[in-house]
């Protein structure tokens, strides 16, 4: 007997990588082998030397095919078995291991937008729907578009065993969010990539496209982000480490923003619940700050912080690596671990 293994990887498309996948038939009981692909078709190689290697790194049940079938997230390697230049996971694994004893947790809020026939789901032909205001967490056929896809996606993520923690309708019609976490940096990022793949895949069955574009509609419409909630063991136990983490993010703001997703200047304008991309701020309950300290965290004097800057199209391997590196080294320096 055999099962189907869907090998999923992140390609080399610039400025925002895309997901790719293909199916391998594997004999029952066999290990998931290394596999290869044509890197010249994915911006990961020249035609003359095109072979790239897929190395399985995370496996879960395939909730689309069911049965014994699996989804297999892979890292891309060169044929000498070193990480390919598009492989951002390998560097995260190193940093995560270096700071493992600080026990970092992440919860990522993935916003996205459904498109059909060239416009966001719920937008009328050649025009705009009623202005924003009633759509966020709305109910009813005049305010909510695509719920059948969203519900199906949630069920698939749960069946796959992902740490999905919730969903909600967003501020713009056709825009939604799901959250993954809390989980460690590598785990949350692997699972987010799989959840993204499942989103595209299930939307395909509804003849709808999902996009992570950070500003899918220009003008007075909210962009799409990937708010990244973060804590270490010390932050979950006290307030000084929370402030240390915020100050460290302040000191490293430009280096973070640079890797928080393509087109970030268009989304972080200072309007639509964002802070300007080139001015760092943090504050309690402040949805106009770069980093928000939730109100309960200030009351309880412990908990987590929310980095509101990452774009919906950000690479979670980059975002979590930068945050762990910046905050955990600052906490270490401050003797707050
Ligand atoms: P918002 O109020 O900004 O919309 P959400 O409820 O959408 O927040 O998302 C918050 C995310 O933060 C969830 O994924 C949740 O699991 C995660 N989270 C909760 N506590 C922590 C923590 N201590 N460290 C990291 N992430 C956390
Ligand atoms: Mn949210
Ligand atoms: Mn949101
Ligand atoms: Mn948020």
Q: Which ligand is nearest to the CA of 227?
A: 4
Tell me which DSSP letter residue 35 carries. Answer: E
- For residues 71, 76, 79, 80, the Cα torsion angle rounded to the nearest 10 degrees is -120
Q: Is the pLDDT of residue 133 over 90?
A: no
Distance 228 CA to ligand 2 centre (A): 10
**pLDDT (average), residues 189-198:** 99
User: Which has the closest alpha carbon to 161: 88, 285, 71?
Assistant: 71
Ligand 1, atom 10, residue with closest C-alpha: 107
The whole-model pTM stands at 0.98
Ligand 1 atom with minimal separation from the 235 CA: 23
Q: How far apart are CA 140 and CA 201, in angstroms?
A: 25
Confidence band (pLDDT; 50, 70, 90) for 47? confident
Q: What is the DSSP string of 69-118?
A: -EEEEEEEE-TTSSBPTT--HHHHHHHHHHTGGG--EEEEEEEEEEEETT
The rounded mean pLDDT for the chain is 97
Q: How far apart are CA 8 and CA 10, in angstroms?
A: 7
Q: Is 46 helix (H, G, I), strand (E, B) or coil?
A: coil
Say what percent of the chain tops pLDDT 90.
Answer: 96
Query: Between vectors from CA 229 to CA 300 and to CA 9, what angle results, nearest 5°?
Result: 160
- Binding site membership of 231 for ligand 1 (Cβ less than 6 Å): yes
**pLDDT (average), residues 250-271:** 97
Ligand 1 atom with minimal separation from the 306 CA: 3
Q: What is the DSSP string of 194-206?
A: HHHHHHHHHHHHT
Confidence band (pLDDT; 50, 70, 90) for 132? confident
Sequence-separated (6 or more) residues with CB below 8 Å from residue 133: none
Distance 97 CA to ligand 2 centre (A): 28
- Binding site membership of 304 for ligand 1 (Cβ less than 6 Å): yes
Calculate the alpha carbon distances from 252 to 23, 137, 245, 324 in Å.
41, 34, 11, 12
Strands 19-27 and 51-61: unpaired
Residues within 5 A (CB) of ion ligand 3: 177
Strands 2-10 and 70-77: parallel
Ligand 1 atom with minimal separation from the 108 CA: 14
Q: Which two tokens stand for residue 276?
A: 């300007």
For 16-30, 120-134, 289-303, which range has the lowest pLDDT when averaged over its residues?
120-134
- Binding site membership of 181 for ligand 1 (Cβ less than 6 Å): yes
Distance 306 CA to ligand 1 centre (A): 8
**pLDDT (average), residues 159-177:** 97
Distance 93 CA to ligand 4 centre (A): 25
Confidence band (pLDDT; 50, 70, 90) for 251? very high
Say what percent of the chain tops pLDDT 70.
Answer: 100
Distance 190 CA to ligand 3 centre (A): 20
Q: Which two tokens stand for residue 128?
A: 């705009």
Scored b (16 or more CB within 10 A) or e, 112-141 reads: bbbbbeebbbbbeeeeebeebebbeebeee
Dump pLDDT digits (tens) for 220-237.
Answer: 999 999 999 999 999 999
Calculate the alpha carbon distances from 271 to 37, 111, 129, 170 in Å.
43, 17, 20, 16
pLDDT value at residue 48: 86
For 125-134, 162-171, 186-195, 310-319, which range has the lowest pLDDT when averaged over its residues?
125-134
Q: How far apart are CA 109 and CA 167, in angstroms?
A: 9
Distance 126 CA to ligand 1 centre (A): 37
Ligand 1, atom 4, residue with closest C-alpha: 109
Sequence-separated (6 or more) residues with CB below 8 Å from residue 179: 107, 108, 109, 110, 164, 165, 166, 167
Where helices occur in the chain by DSSP H, the ranges are 89-98, 147-159, 185-205, 240-251, 253-257, 264-267, 295-300, 316-323, 329-333
Q: Ligand 1 test: best mutation among 105, 106, 182, 320, most atoms within 8 Å of CB?
A: 182
- The structural domains of the chain, ordered by start, are 2-86 (3.10.20.70), 95-333 (3.30.590.10)
Q: Ligand 1 test: best mutation among 103, 106, 107, 303, most atoms within 8 Å of CB?
A: 107
Confidence band (pLDDT; 50, 70, 90) for 303? very high
pLDDT value at residue 124: 94
Distance 198 CA to ligand 1 centre (A): 21
Q: Is the pLDDT of residue 71 over 90?
A: yes
pLDDT value at residue 228: 98
Ligand 1 atom with minimal separation from the 308 CA: 3
Tell me which DSSP letter residue 129 carries. Answer: -
Distance 26 CA to ligand 3 centre (A): 39
Q: Which two tokens stand for residue 51?
A: 């072979």
User: Which has the closest alpha carbon to 202: 170, 157, 143, 137?
Assistant: 157
**pLDDT (average), residues 3-23:** 98
């Amino acid at each position: 007997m055999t099962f189907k293994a869907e090998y999923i990887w992140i390609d080399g498309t610039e400025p925002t990588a895309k997901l790719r996948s293909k199916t391998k038939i594997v004999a029952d009981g066999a290990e998931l082998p290394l596999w290869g692909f044509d890197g010249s078709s994915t911006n990961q190689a020249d035609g003359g030397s095109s072979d790239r290697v897929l190395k399985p790194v995370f496996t879960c049940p395939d909730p689309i095919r069911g049965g014994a079938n699996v989804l297999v997230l892979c890292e891309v390697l060169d044929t000498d078995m070193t990480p390919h230049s598009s492989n951002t996971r390998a560097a995260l694994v190193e940093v995560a291991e270096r700071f493992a004893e600080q026990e970092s947790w992440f919860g990522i809020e993935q916003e996205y937008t459904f498109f059909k026939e060239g416009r966001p789901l719920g937008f009328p032909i050649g025009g705009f729907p009623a202005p924003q205001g009633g759509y966020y967490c709305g109910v009813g056929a005049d305010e909510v578009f695509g719920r059948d896809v969203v519900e199906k996606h949630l069920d698939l993520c749960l069946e796959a065993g992902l740490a999905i923690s919730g969903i909600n309708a967003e501020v713009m019609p056709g825009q939604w969010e799901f959250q993954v976490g809390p989980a460690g940096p590598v785990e949350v990022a692997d699972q987010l990539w799989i959840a993204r793949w499942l989103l595209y895949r299930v939307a395909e069955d509804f003849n709808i496209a999902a996009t992570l574009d950070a500003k899918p509609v220009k003008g007075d419409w909210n962009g799409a982000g990937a708010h990244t909630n973060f804590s270490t063991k010390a932050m979950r136990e006290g307030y000084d480490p929370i402030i240390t983490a915020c100050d460290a993010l302040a000191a490293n703001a430009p280096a973070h923003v640079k890797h928080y997703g393509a087109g970030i200047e268009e989304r972080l304008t200072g309007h639509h619940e964002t802070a300007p991309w080139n001015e760092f701020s943090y504050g309690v309950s402040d949805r106009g700050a770069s980093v928000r300290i939730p109100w309960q965290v200030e009351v309880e004097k412990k908990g987590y912080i929310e980095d509101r800057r990452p774009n919906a199209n950000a690479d979670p391997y980059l975002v979590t690596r930068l945050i762990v590196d910046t905050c955990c080294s600052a906490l270490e320096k401050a003797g707050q671990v």
